[in-house]
Amino acid sequence: MSATLKQIDLSNISTIALGSTILGTGGGGDPYIGRLMAETAIRACGPVPLIDPDDVPDDAFTFMVGMMGAPAVIVEKPPSGLECLVAIEALERRFGRKITHISCLEAGGINAMIPIAAAARLGLPLIDADGMGRAFPELQMLLPTLDGIRATPMSLVDEKGNCLIIETGTNRAAEAFARNATVEMGATAMLAFYPMSGAQVRQSTVLRTYDMAFRIGRALREARTAHRDPVAEVAAQLGGAAIFSGKVTDIRRRTLAGFSRGEATLDGLGLWTGHSLRLDFQNEFLVATRDEEVVVTTPDLICMVDAQTGEPVTAETLRYGQRLAAIGAPCHERWRSPEGLKIVGPGYFGYDCRYTPFPSSRV
């Protein structure tokens, strides 16, 4: 499968950011801050070559880069973008080897943009792939984990320049140690982790997600220009379907242990008048319950967009009175395996519901 996107520059980055925010299922960190970081780096250092996974040499050496922490804190304390370079350099010293490519942690929000900024500043190519095909809240929730690829050695850096190298026996332990360290760092930290070869990237990531984000963003903008239904266009691009449309009538959120957790309620409008939708989120939207019946759960995608424009809405920007549409879409097939559901299914997050692949008869 060939990709249409060959480089990332100022002409297409806002379109990529739009599509990746939709893929981020409400999480991944503030997309606007991420886009500013990437645009600043491209203006200073030039466009970023986007390399198709099939063209990456087997012996390439790459790290995933991104940011972890509570989305609300990222907005209040935005990174400069230079922290990521410190994290990469720390791991290069640990391995005694320079990386050849930059990789993406998750196709959502700020974490889709940070790799672009890092690649621009380091003059390195960016691999067109990511570890999830969406966004998830914990660091072990990547496809490489299913193949036994270690998240560590991992480096974490805060805005003060403090740097930690973490090595653990399991990726779940890496999440626990990194989460505690991030809380001590002020609830956000930049990181470099999952050292991989080119061959491992092809085997253990979701391929061509930047190209997918670009196509989603472009299709949404074209639908607006042509006065077509933007919500239907987004759903079609995702291979999903709209599951609700209504007004936000209640939101409860709290920041706990480095996560933004909460619930939101929407009362139906139009075709959905007389119905309600509840959203449960932990950084990302994880469960959608319509009229007391669960209709979509993690790991499938729950994307919230403005009902009129299709503009994506994150969990952090949910506000009372917004008129939104909810879209459900299927996740990458590997997340639906027993091994995948063990680490990203609803039971892992403590929800008492069974996973049913979307689309399902409950639509």
Indicate the angle between helix axes 110-122 and 82-95, nearest 10 degrees.
70
pLDDT tens per residue across span 253-278: 876 655 678 999 999 999 999 999 99
Looking up tokens 């740097």 gives 163
Tens digit of each residue's pLDDT (9 = 90 or more) over 162-219? 999 999 999 999 999 999 999 899 888 999 999 999 999 999 999 999 999 999 999 9
Q: Say whether pLDDT at 1 is over 60.
A: no
Lowest mean pLDDT, pick from 25-34, 103-112, 329-338: 25-34
Percentage of residues in the chain having pLDDT higher than 90? 83
Tokens 């087997």 belong to residue: 58
Report the C-alpha dihedral over residues 28, 29, 32, 37, rounded to 10 degrees. -100
Tokens linked to 333: 């097939």
pLDDT tens digit string along 306-344? 999 999 999 888 999 999 999 999 999 999 999 999 999
With contact defined as beta carbons under 8 Å apart, do 240 and 301 qualify? yes
CB 157 within 8 A of CB 90: yes
Strand partners, 252: 263
18, 216 in Cβ contact below 8 A? yes
* pTM of the predicted protein model: 0.94
The answer to whether the beta carbons of residues 127 and 51 sit under 8 Å apart is yes
Domains of the chain in start order, with CATH, are 7-209 (3.40.1610.10), 229-344 (2.40.390.10)
Q: How far is residue 334 from each of residues 102, 207, 341, measured CA to CA in Å?
A: 23, 13, 9
Q: What's the pLDDT band for 79 if we cut at 50, 70, 90? A: confident
Among positive and negative, which fits the CA dihedral 69, 75, 81, 86?
Answer: negative
- Give the pLDDT mean for 126-143: 96
